[in-house]
Amino acid sequence: MLNIPKFGPYAQTVAQRQAIVERMLDYFAQLHLKLPAHADDLHHRYVAGELSWLEVCELRSNPVQVTVMPAQPA
């Protein structure tokens, strides 16, 4: 079993994270809640393992996104 500290015990794999996002989107639809336009991209990045759920929530509430560039070798 994977143990990636960035994700909870039920969000260790891509399939698990995809299921979480799908359940959340279904729940939001039942409540007739709209997500910001950039939320879809954030959810894809979460499923891919690029972002933690906390990062998704922070970026979803703040439309300004910062791209972190990898450090250049010296």
Instruction: Give the global pTM.
Output: 0.75
For the chain, the first-to-last Cα distance in angstroms comes to 37
Burial 43-58 (b: 16+ CB within 10 A, else e): beebbeeebbbeebee
pLDDT digits (tens, 9 = 90+) for 7-21: 888 999 999 999 999
Q: What is the DSSP secondary-structure string of 26-51?
A: HHHHHTT----TTHHHHHHHHHTTSS
pLDDT at 35 over 80: yes
The amino acid present at 69, given as its one-letter code, is M
pLDDT mean across residues, the chain: 85
Nearest C-alpha neighbor of 39 from the set 55, 15, 19: 55
